[in-house]
Chains A and B, each alone.
Chain A
Amino acid sequence: MSSSKALFRMDPGSGLFFNKSAETLMKVNAITAVVFLLIGGILATLVTATRMPTLHTLPTAQFYQALTAHGIDMLIIFIIFFEMAVLYFASTALLRVRIAAPRWGWVQYILMLVGAVMTNYAILQGNSSVMMTSYVPMPAEPLFYLGLILFAVGALIGCFIFFGTLVIAKEERTYEGSVPLIVYGATVAAIIAVFTIASGAIILIPTFLWSVGLVSHIDPLMYRVIWWALGHSSQQINVAAHITIWYMVAGLLFGAKPMSEKVSRTAFLLYILFLQLASAHHILVDPGVSSTWKVFNTSYAMYLAVLASMIHGLTVPGSIEVAQRMKGLNNGLFTWLQKAPWGNPVFSSMFISLIGFGFIGGISGVVMGVEQINLIIHNTIYVPGHFHATVVLGTTMAFMSATYFLLPTLFGREIFMFKLAKLQPYLFGLGMAGFSVFMMGAGTMGVARRHWDMAFTGAPYAFEYPAIAYTLMGLTGIFAAMAIIGGALFCVIAVGTLLFGKKVDSKVGFMGFRGADSYTTDRPPLLERAPADTVSHKDIGIGGFVAPGTFIMALVFLATFVLYYFVNWKYLSSVWGLS
Chain B
Amino acid sequence: MSTILPPSDVIWWKVPVDRSEGLWVGIALLWCLFMFAMMPIWHIYGNQNLSNEAYRTHPEVFQDKVNAMVDAHTVRKETQWNVPVVKPPVGSDVYMLGKKWQWYPALELKKGESYRLHLSSMDWQHGFSVQPININAQILPGYESVMTITPNQAGEFTIICNEYCGVGHHFMTSKIYVTE
CB pair A181–B3 under 8 Å, yes or no, is yes
Interface residue stretch chosen among B66-74, B88-96, B134-142: B134-142
Would B48 and A287 count as touching, CB distance under 8 A?
A: no
A178 touches B20 (CB 8 A): no
Considering the complex, give the chain A residue whose CB is closest to the CB of B148. A579
- Complex-state Cα separation, A448 to B9, whole angstroms: 53
A177 at the interface (CB under 8 A from B): yes
Q: Inter-chain contact count A-B, CB under 8 Å?
A: 344
- Of A314, A378, A459, A575, most buried by chain B (CB within 10 Å of CB) is A459
CB pair B12–A262 under 8 Å, yes or no, is yes
Residue count of chain A within 8 Å CB distance of chain B: 114
Q: List, in ascending order, chain B residues with CB within 8 A of A137's CB.
A: 123-124, 141
The A contact surface, by secondary structure, is loop
Cα–Cα, bound, A262→B39 (Å): 31
Q: Determine if A564 is an interface residue (Cβ-Cβ < 8 Å).
A: no
- In the complex the two chains form, is A575's CB within 8 Å of B133's CB? yes
| Contact bitstring A385-421, B, C-beta under 8 A = 1, else 0 | 0000000000000000000000000000000000000
Nearest Cβ on chain A to B62's Cβ, whole angstroms: 12
Contact B136 A544 (CB under 8 A): no
Task: Please tell me if the beta carbons of B24 and A554 are within 8 angstroms of each other in the complex.
Answer: yes
- CA separation between A304 and B32, bound complex, in Å? 7
Which of A283, A302, A310 is within 8 Å of B33, CB to CB? A302
- A288-B140, A578-B149 as given contacts; A177 in contact with B6, CB under 8 Å: yes
Whole-angstrom distance from the CB of B103 to the nearest CB of chain A?
9
CB < 8 Å: which of A180, A256, A528, A578 contacts B49?
A578
Identify A558's interface contact among B12, B18, B27, B106, CB under 8 A: B27
A467, B11: Cα distance in complex, Å: 61
- Knowing A444-B134, A547-B20, A579-B148, the reply to whether A458 touches B171 (Cβ < 8 A) is yes
Q: In residues 134-190 of chain A, which contact B (Cβ within 8 Å)?
A: 135, 137-138, 175-182
Q: Identify which of A18-26, A100-108, A109-117, A244-252 touches chain B.
A: A244-252
Contact B129 A448 (CB under 8 A): yes
A291 touches B137 (CB 8 A): no
Q: Is B170 an interface residue (CB 8 A)?
A: yes
In the complex, A259 has a CB within 8 A of chain B: yes
Complex CA–CA separation, A291 to B50 (angstroms): 8
Flag A545-576 by CB within 8 Å of B: 1 or 0 each: 11110110010001001100100010011011
Contacts of B28 in A (CB 8 A): 307, 310-311, 558
User: B81, B162, B174: which contacts A449 (Cβ < 8 A)?
Assistant: B162
Question: Are A307 and B164 CB-contacts (below 8 A) given A260-B15, A527-B5, A551-B24?
Answer: no
Chain B residues 1 to 60 lying within 8 A of chain A, measured CB to CB, are: 1-10, 12-13, 15, 17-21, 23-25, 27-29, 31-33, 35-36, 38-40, 42-43, 46-52, 54, 56
A55 on the B face (CB < 8 A): no
Contact of A548 among B20, B27, B130 (CB under 8 A): B20
CA distance A424 to B80 in the complex (A): 52
**Chief secondary structure at chain B's binding surface:** mixed
Please indicate the chain B residues that have their CB under 8 angstroms from the CB of A64 in the complex. Answer: 164, 166-167
Chain B residues within 8 Å of A528, by CB: 5-6
- Asked whether A578 lies within 8 Å of B25 as measured between CB atoms, the reply is no
* A546: chain B residues within 8 A (beta carbon): 18-20
A310 nearest in chain B by CB position? B28
Is B63 part of the binding interface, using a Cβ–Cβ cutoff of 8 Å?
no
Residues of B with C-beta under 8 A to A314: 20-21, 24
**Could you tell me which B residues sit within 8 Å of A by CB distance?**
1-10, 12-13, 15, 17-21, 23-25, 27-29, 31-33, 35-36, 38-40, 42-43, 46-52, 54, 56, 78-81, 83, 102, 106, 114, 119, 123-125, 127, 129-145, 147-153, 158, 160-167, 169-175
Residues of A in contact with B (beta carbons under 8 Å apart): 60-61, 64, 94, 131, 135, 137-138, 175-182, 219-221, 224, 247-248, 250-252, 255-263, 283-288, 290-291, 295, 299, 301-304, 306-307, 310-311, 314-315, 318-319, 366, 370-372, 375-380, 444-446, 448-453, 456-463, 465-466, 527-533, 537, 541, 544-548, 550-551, 554, 558, 561-562, 565, 569, 572-573, 575-579
